[in-house]
Amino acid sequence: MKLVNKIPIWFMRQAGRYLPEYMEIRSRNSDFLKLCFDPELASEISLQPIKRFDLDFIILFSDILVIPYALGQDVKFLKNHGPLLNSISSKRDLNYTSLYKSLNKISNIFETIKILNTKKRSKNIIGFCGGPFTVLNYMVEGGTTKTHRKIKRFIKEKQEEALDLIKILTEISIEYLKKQIESGATYVQIFESWAGLLEREEYMDFIIKPNHQISEEIKAFSKHTKIIHFPRGSRNNYKVFAEEVNCDVLSLDRNYPKHLPNFLREKGITVQGNLDPEELLTEGKRIEEKTKEVLEKFKKNNHIFNLSHGILPKTKISNIEKVIKVVRNYETAK
Protein backbone atom coordinates (compact mmCIF):
# COMPACT_ATOMS: atom_id res chain seq x y z
CA MET A 1 0.00 0.00 0.00
CA LYS A 2 1.53 3.30 -1.06
CA LEU A 3 0.50 6.77 -0.04
CA VAL A 4 -0.59 9.04 -2.87
CA ASN A 5 -0.50 12.71 -1.89
CA LYS A 6 -1.08 14.46 -5.16
CA ILE A 7 -4.31 14.18 -7.09
CA PRO A 8 -4.21 16.05 -10.41
CA ILE A 9 -6.57 19.01 -10.52
CA TRP A 10 -7.96 21.38 -13.12
CA PHE A 11 -11.34 23.05 -13.63
CA MET A 12 -13.58 23.14 -16.66
CA ARG A 13 -13.77 26.79 -17.80
CA GLN A 14 -10.76 27.56 -15.62
CA ALA A 15 -9.77 30.30 -18.09
CA GLY A 16 -12.68 32.71 -18.15
CA ARG A 17 -15.05 35.24 -16.70
CA TYR A 18 -14.32 34.79 -12.99
CA LEU A 19 -10.69 35.95 -13.49
CA PRO A 20 -10.00 39.73 -13.47
CA GLU A 21 -7.03 39.23 -15.81
CA TYR A 22 -9.34 37.56 -18.32
CA MET A 23 -11.94 40.33 -18.03
CA GLU A 24 -9.22 42.92 -18.61
CA ILE A 25 -8.41 41.27 -21.96
CA ARG A 26 -12.10 40.95 -22.82
CA SER A 27 -12.65 44.65 -22.15
CA ARG A 28 -10.30 45.35 -25.06
CA ASN A 29 -11.55 42.53 -27.30
CA SER A 30 -15.32 42.47 -27.68
CA ASP A 31 -15.46 39.82 -30.43
CA PHE A 32 -15.21 36.47 -28.62
CA LEU A 33 -14.65 34.40 -31.76
CA LYS A 34 -11.80 36.66 -32.91
CA LEU A 35 -10.26 36.22 -29.49
CA CYS A 36 -10.36 32.44 -29.91
CA PHE A 37 -8.51 32.86 -33.20
CA ASP A 38 -5.78 35.14 -31.82
CA PRO A 39 -2.91 32.78 -30.90
CA GLU A 40 -1.04 35.25 -28.69
CA LEU A 41 -4.07 36.28 -26.65
CA ALA A 42 -5.67 32.81 -26.60
CA SER A 43 -2.43 31.28 -25.31
CA GLU A 44 -2.12 34.03 -22.69
CA ILE A 45 -5.67 33.36 -21.50
CA SER A 46 -5.03 29.59 -21.44
CA LEU A 47 -2.08 30.18 -19.12
CA GLN A 48 -3.77 32.66 -16.76
CA PRO A 49 -5.15 30.02 -14.35
CA ILE A 50 -1.81 28.18 -14.41
CA LYS A 51 0.06 31.31 -13.40
CA ARG A 52 -2.45 32.09 -10.68
CA PHE A 53 -3.17 28.60 -9.27
CA ASP A 54 -0.44 26.27 -10.63
CA LEU A 55 -3.05 23.76 -11.82
CA ASP A 56 -1.91 20.50 -13.38
CA PHE A 57 -3.50 20.88 -16.82
CA ILE A 58 -3.57 23.69 -19.37
CA ILE A 59 -6.79 23.60 -21.35
CA LEU A 60 -6.88 25.36 -24.68
CA PHE A 61 -8.89 28.58 -24.65
CA SER A 62 -11.40 28.17 -27.46
CA ASP A 63 -15.03 27.13 -27.92
CA ILE A 64 -16.86 24.07 -29.23
CA LEU A 65 -18.71 26.27 -31.75
CA VAL A 66 -15.63 26.92 -33.85
CA ILE A 67 -16.67 23.73 -35.70
CA PRO A 68 -19.98 25.12 -37.02
CA TYR A 69 -18.03 28.24 -38.01
CA ALA A 70 -15.51 26.07 -39.86
CA LEU A 71 -18.38 24.34 -41.67
CA GLY A 72 -19.67 27.66 -42.96
CA GLN A 73 -22.41 28.39 -40.45
CA ASP A 74 -22.83 31.94 -39.21
CA VAL A 75 -21.72 32.01 -35.55
CA LYS A 76 -21.80 35.05 -33.27
CA PHE A 77 -21.47 35.55 -29.52
CA LEU A 78 -23.69 38.32 -28.20
CA LYS A 79 -23.14 40.03 -24.86
CA ASN A 80 -25.59 38.84 -22.18
CA HIS A 81 -27.08 36.39 -24.67
CA GLY A 82 -24.49 33.78 -25.63
CA PRO A 83 -24.02 32.07 -29.00
CA LEU A 84 -26.26 32.89 -31.92
CA LEU A 85 -26.25 30.74 -35.07
CA ASN A 86 -28.45 30.65 -38.14
CA SER A 87 -30.56 27.53 -37.57
CA ILE A 88 -30.03 24.69 -40.06
CA SER A 89 -32.01 21.55 -40.97
CA SER A 90 -29.75 19.92 -43.57
CA LYS A 91 -26.13 19.77 -44.67
CA ARG A 92 -27.27 21.78 -47.69
CA ASP A 93 -27.71 24.74 -45.33
CA LEU A 94 -23.95 24.80 -44.74
CA ASN A 95 -21.32 26.45 -46.89
CA TYR A 96 -19.19 23.31 -46.62
CA THR A 97 -17.04 22.23 -49.55
CA SER A 98 -14.05 20.35 -48.12
CA LEU A 99 -12.57 19.22 -44.83
CA TYR A 100 -9.23 20.88 -45.68
CA LYS A 101 -10.81 24.27 -46.33
CA SER A 102 -12.88 24.05 -43.15
CA LEU A 103 -9.90 23.23 -40.94
CA ASN A 104 -7.89 25.98 -42.59
CA LYS A 105 -10.51 28.50 -41.39
CA ILE A 106 -9.66 27.64 -37.78
CA SER A 107 -5.94 26.89 -38.19
CA ASN A 108 -4.95 29.70 -35.80
CA ILE A 109 -6.14 27.44 -32.97
CA PHE A 110 -3.32 25.03 -33.78
CA GLU A 111 -0.88 27.94 -33.54
CA THR A 112 -2.21 28.65 -30.05
CA ILE A 113 -1.41 25.09 -28.99
CA LYS A 114 2.08 25.35 -30.47
CA ILE A 115 2.71 28.46 -28.35
CA LEU A 116 1.39 26.66 -25.27
CA ASN A 117 3.68 23.74 -26.03
CA THR A 118 6.70 26.04 -25.71
CA LYS A 119 5.48 27.36 -22.34
CA LYS A 120 3.88 24.33 -20.70
CA ARG A 121 6.84 23.26 -18.54
CA SER A 122 5.70 19.98 -16.92
CA LYS A 123 1.99 20.57 -17.53
CA ASN A 124 -0.24 18.55 -19.82
CA ILE A 125 -2.12 20.42 -22.54
CA ILE A 126 -5.77 19.51 -23.08
CA GLY A 127 -7.23 20.08 -26.51
CA PHE A 128 -10.95 19.58 -27.03
CA CYS A 129 -14.00 19.57 -29.22
CA GLY A 130 -17.72 19.33 -28.67
CA GLY A 131 -19.40 15.98 -29.06
CA PRO A 132 -21.11 15.70 -32.47
CA PHE A 133 -24.64 15.62 -31.03
CA THR A 134 -23.97 18.56 -28.73
CA VAL A 135 -22.62 20.67 -31.58
CA LEU A 136 -25.54 19.61 -33.79
CA ASN A 137 -27.88 20.76 -31.02
CA TYR A 138 -26.55 24.33 -31.22
CA MET A 139 -26.56 24.24 -35.03
CA VAL A 140 -30.21 23.20 -35.24
CA GLU A 141 -31.50 25.26 -32.30
CA GLY A 142 -29.60 28.36 -33.43
CA GLY A 143 -27.99 28.84 -30.03
CA THR A 144 -28.71 28.09 -26.38
CA THR A 145 -32.12 26.74 -25.43
CA LYS A 146 -33.89 25.38 -22.36
CA THR A 147 -36.43 23.23 -24.21
CA HIS A 148 -34.37 21.69 -27.07
CA ARG A 149 -37.60 21.31 -29.04
CA LYS A 150 -36.05 21.78 -32.47
CA ILE A 151 -33.30 19.17 -32.03
CA LYS A 152 -35.68 16.60 -30.52
CA ARG A 153 -38.12 17.03 -33.39
CA PHE A 154 -35.32 17.09 -35.96
CA ILE A 155 -33.76 13.74 -35.00
CA LYS A 156 -37.19 12.07 -34.92
CA GLU A 157 -38.72 13.54 -38.05
CA LYS A 158 -35.59 14.01 -40.19
CA GLN A 159 -33.33 11.26 -38.95
CA GLU A 160 -31.55 10.78 -42.28
CA GLU A 161 -30.60 14.47 -42.46
CA ALA A 162 -29.59 14.40 -38.78
CA LEU A 163 -27.33 11.39 -39.27
CA ASP A 164 -25.78 13.02 -42.36
CA LEU A 165 -24.84 16.02 -40.25
CA ILE A 166 -23.56 13.80 -37.41
CA LYS A 167 -21.31 12.04 -39.92
CA ILE A 168 -19.84 15.37 -41.07
CA LEU A 169 -19.39 16.58 -37.49
CA THR A 170 -17.72 13.32 -36.47
CA GLU A 171 -15.30 13.43 -39.39
CA ILE A 172 -14.27 17.05 -38.87
CA SER A 173 -14.00 16.55 -35.09
CA ILE A 174 -11.57 13.67 -35.61
CA GLU A 175 -9.35 15.69 -37.96
CA TYR A 176 -9.62 18.75 -35.71
CA LEU A 177 -8.40 16.73 -32.71
CA LYS A 178 -5.60 15.16 -34.76
CA LYS A 179 -4.34 18.64 -35.65
CA GLN A 180 -4.47 19.63 -32.00
CA ILE A 181 -2.43 16.54 -31.09
CA GLU A 182 0.11 17.27 -33.82
CA SER A 183 0.43 20.79 -32.40
CA GLY A 184 1.18 19.59 -28.88
CA ALA A 185 -2.00 18.52 -27.05
CA THR A 186 -1.31 15.51 -24.81
CA TYR A 187 -4.94 15.02 -23.74
CA VAL A 188 -8.14 15.66 -25.67
CA GLN A 189 -11.60 16.05 -24.15
CA ILE A 190 -14.86 15.52 -25.99
CA PHE A 191 -17.62 17.61 -24.40
CA GLU A 192 -20.88 15.79 -25.13
CA SER A 193 -22.75 18.28 -22.95
CA TRP A 194 -26.27 17.39 -24.10
CA ALA A 195 -25.98 13.59 -23.99
CA GLY A 196 -28.62 13.53 -21.27
CA LEU A 197 -31.34 14.53 -23.73
CA LEU A 198 -31.33 11.10 -25.37
CA GLU A 199 -32.22 7.52 -24.42
CA ARG A 200 -32.23 4.04 -25.96
CA GLU A 201 -31.71 3.89 -29.75
CA GLU A 202 -31.22 7.64 -30.06
CA TYR A 203 -28.50 7.55 -27.40
CA MET A 204 -26.79 4.73 -29.29
CA ASP A 205 -27.02 6.40 -32.72
CA PHE A 206 -26.22 9.99 -31.75
CA ILE A 207 -23.98 9.60 -28.67
CA ILE A 208 -22.33 6.17 -28.52
CA LYS A 209 -21.54 5.59 -32.20
CA PRO A 210 -20.00 9.01 -32.98
CA ASN A 211 -17.96 9.08 -29.76
CA HIS A 212 -16.81 5.50 -30.34
CA GLN A 213 -15.61 6.44 -33.82
CA ILE A 214 -13.75 9.50 -32.52
CA SER A 215 -11.96 7.48 -29.84
CA GLU A 216 -11.01 4.63 -32.15
CA GLU A 217 -9.56 6.92 -34.79
CA ILE A 218 -7.69 9.08 -32.28
CA LYS A 219 -6.19 5.99 -30.63
CA ALA A 220 -5.13 4.65 -34.03
CA PHE A 221 -3.56 8.03 -34.81
CA SER A 222 -1.81 8.56 -31.44
CA LYS A 223 -1.86 5.74 -28.92
CA HIS A 224 -0.12 7.90 -26.29
CA THR A 225 -2.77 10.63 -26.30
CA LYS A 226 -5.22 10.35 -23.40
CA ILE A 227 -8.89 10.75 -24.25
CA ILE A 228 -11.37 12.28 -21.79
CA HIS A 229 -15.06 11.82 -22.52
CA PHE A 230 -17.76 13.85 -20.80
CA PRO A 231 -21.25 12.62 -21.79
CA ARG A 232 -22.92 14.97 -19.33
CA GLY A 233 -26.35 14.02 -18.04
CA SER A 234 -26.04 10.37 -19.09
CA ARG A 235 -27.20 9.03 -15.69
CA ASN A 236 -27.54 5.21 -16.05
CA ASN A 237 -26.12 5.45 -19.58
CA TYR A 238 -22.69 6.34 -18.16
CA LYS A 239 -22.02 2.61 -17.76
CA VAL A 240 -23.19 1.88 -21.31
CA PHE A 241 -20.94 4.68 -22.56
CA ALA A 242 -17.90 3.29 -20.69
CA GLU A 243 -18.60 -0.19 -22.06
CA GLU A 244 -18.91 0.94 -25.67
CA VAL A 245 -16.49 3.89 -25.97
CA ASN A 246 -12.71 3.69 -25.50
CA CYS A 247 -12.15 6.10 -22.58
CA ASP A 248 -8.93 6.80 -20.74
CA VAL A 249 -10.86 9.19 -18.51
CA LEU A 250 -14.60 9.50 -17.94
CA SER A 251 -15.75 12.85 -16.58
CA LEU A 252 -18.86 12.67 -14.38
CA ASP A 253 -21.55 15.09 -13.38
CA ARG A 254 -23.46 14.67 -10.11
CA ASN A 255 -25.89 11.93 -11.21
CA TYR A 256 -24.47 8.51 -12.04
CA PRO A 257 -25.10 4.89 -10.93
CA LYS A 258 -23.78 4.11 -7.46
CA HIS A 259 -21.74 1.16 -8.71
CA LEU A 260 -20.07 3.12 -11.52
CA PRO A 261 -16.80 4.05 -9.70
CA ASN A 262 -16.14 0.35 -8.98
CA PHE A 263 -16.89 -0.54 -12.59
CA LEU A 264 -14.53 2.17 -13.88
CA ARG A 265 -11.78 1.04 -11.51
CA GLU A 266 -12.10 -2.53 -12.80
CA LYS A 267 -11.93 -1.27 -16.39
CA GLY A 268 -8.86 0.88 -15.66
CA ILE A 269 -10.71 4.10 -16.53
CA THR A 270 -9.78 7.22 -14.58
CA VAL A 271 -12.63 9.22 -13.02
CA GLN A 272 -12.71 12.97 -13.54
CA GLY A 273 -14.92 15.25 -11.46
CA ASN A 274 -17.27 16.02 -9.90
CA LEU A 275 -17.72 18.94 -7.48
CA ASP A 276 -20.89 20.91 -8.22
CA PRO A 277 -19.79 24.39 -9.44
CA GLU A 278 -22.69 25.86 -7.45
CA GLU A 279 -20.76 24.86 -4.31
CA LEU A 280 -18.07 27.36 -5.30
CA LEU A 281 -20.61 30.14 -4.73
CA THR A 282 -21.15 29.19 -1.07
CA GLU A 283 -19.40 30.55 2.01
CA GLY A 284 -17.79 29.14 5.14
CA LYS A 285 -16.57 25.56 5.59
CA ARG A 286 -19.06 24.02 3.16
CA ILE A 287 -16.68 24.26 0.18
CA GLU A 288 -13.94 22.35 2.00
CA GLU A 289 -16.43 19.73 3.22
CA LYS A 290 -17.92 19.16 -0.23
CA THR A 291 -14.44 18.94 -1.77
CA LYS A 292 -13.47 16.27 0.77
CA GLU A 293 -16.68 14.37 -0.03
CA VAL A 294 -15.63 14.14 -3.69
CA LEU A 295 -12.12 13.04 -2.76
CA GLU A 296 -13.44 10.34 -0.42
CA LYS A 297 -15.98 9.15 -2.97
CA PHE A 298 -13.29 8.41 -5.56
CA LYS A 299 -10.39 7.54 -3.25
CA LYS A 300 -10.17 3.98 -4.61
CA ASN A 301 -10.16 5.22 -8.22
CA ASN A 302 -7.51 6.91 -10.29
CA HIS A 303 -8.95 10.39 -10.02
CA ILE A 304 -8.54 13.79 -11.66
CA PHE A 305 -10.26 16.37 -9.49
CA ASN A 306 -12.61 18.65 -11.41
CA LEU A 307 -16.16 20.00 -11.42
CA SER A 308 -19.41 18.50 -12.67
CA HIS A 309 -19.50 21.36 -15.21
CA GLY A 310 -17.73 24.67 -15.79
CA ILE A 311 -16.79 27.36 -13.27
CA LEU A 312 -19.58 29.92 -12.92
CA PRO A 313 -18.78 33.60 -13.66
CA LYS A 314 -19.52 34.86 -10.11
CA THR A 315 -17.14 32.38 -8.46
CA LYS A 316 -14.74 33.96 -5.97
CA ILE A 317 -11.05 33.33 -6.53
CA SER A 318 -10.67 32.67 -2.79
CA ASN A 319 -13.10 29.76 -3.12
CA ILE A 320 -11.07 28.23 -5.96
CA GLU A 321 -8.02 28.55 -3.73
CA LYS A 322 -9.83 26.76 -0.89
CA VAL A 323 -10.64 23.79 -3.13
CA ILE A 324 -7.08 23.56 -4.44
CA LYS A 325 -5.68 23.63 -0.90
CA VAL A 326 -7.93 20.75 0.21
CA VAL A 327 -7.03 18.66 -2.84
CA ARG A 328 -3.31 19.35 -2.50
CA ASN A 329 -3.34 18.37 1.18
CA TYR A 330 -5.45 15.25 0.71
CA GLU A 331 -3.79 11.88 1.10
CA THR A 332 -5.18 8.48 0.24
CA ALA A 333 -3.79 4.97 0.47
CA LYS A 334 -3.87 2.78 -2.65
Q: Which of 17, 139, 127 is nearest to 68 (CA)?
A: 139
Alpha-helix runs per DSSP H in 249-316: 260-267, 286-297
Tens-place pLDDT, residues 235-288 = 999 999 999 999 999 999 999 999 999 999 999 999 999 999 999 999 999 999
Mean pLDDT, the chain, rounded, equals 96
Q: Which of 212, 175, 178 is nearest to 192 (CA)?
A: 212
Query: Is the distance from CB of 194 to CB of 134 less than 8 angstroms?
Result: yes
The pLDDT assigned to 86 comes to 95
Query: Is the distance from CB of 288 to CB of 322 less than 8 angstroms?
Result: yes
Query: Is the distance from CB of 245 to CB of 212 less than 8 angstroms?
Result: yes
The pLDDT assigned to 80 comes to 77
The pLDDT assigned to 3 comes to 47
Domain of 147, in residue numbers: 3-333
- CA 305 to each of CA 46, 78, 292: distance values in angstroms, whole numbers, following the listed order: 19, 32, 11
pLDDT at residue 118 tops 90 = yes
For 22-66, give the secondary structure using H, E and C.
HHHHHHHCCCHHHHHCCHHHHHHHHHHHHHHHCCCEEECCCCCCH
| DSSP codes, 7-22 | --B--TT-SSTT-HHH
Q: Percentage of residues in the chain with pLDDT exceeding 90?
A: 95
Tens-place pLDDT, residues 191-237 = 999 999 999 999 999 999 999 999 999 999 999 999 999 999 999 99
Strand partners, 130: 191
The pLDDT assigned to 244 comes to 98
Beta strands in the chain (DSSP E): 3-4, 57-59, 75-78, 82-85, 124-130, 187-191, 226-230, 249-251, 270-275, 303-307, 332-333
Residues in CB range of 74: below 8 A, 6 or more apart: 85, 86
Query: Is the distance from CB of 229 to CB of 211 less than 8 angstroms?
Result: yes
pLDDT at residue 114 tops 80 = yes
Residues in CB range of 329: below 8 A, 6 or more apart: none
The pLDDT assigned to 1 comes to 40
Tens-place pLDDT, residues 276-321 = 999 999 999 999 999 999 999 999 999 999 999 999 999 999 999 9
The pLDDT assigned to 5 comes to 57
The pLDDT assigned to 2 comes to 46
Q: Enumerate helices (H) and strands (E) in the chain, giving the number of each.
A: 15, 11
Per the structure, the count of domains in the chain is 1
Tens-place pLDDT, residues 154-192 = 999 999 999 999 999 999 999 999 999 999 999 999 999
Tens-place pLDDT, residues 97-113 = 999 999 999 999 999 99
Dihedral sign (CA 184, 23, 36, 12): positive
The pLDDT assigned to 332 comes to 67
DSSP state of 143: B
CATH of residue 160's domain is: 3.20.20.210
Residues, the chain: 334
The pLDDT assigned to 333 comes to 53
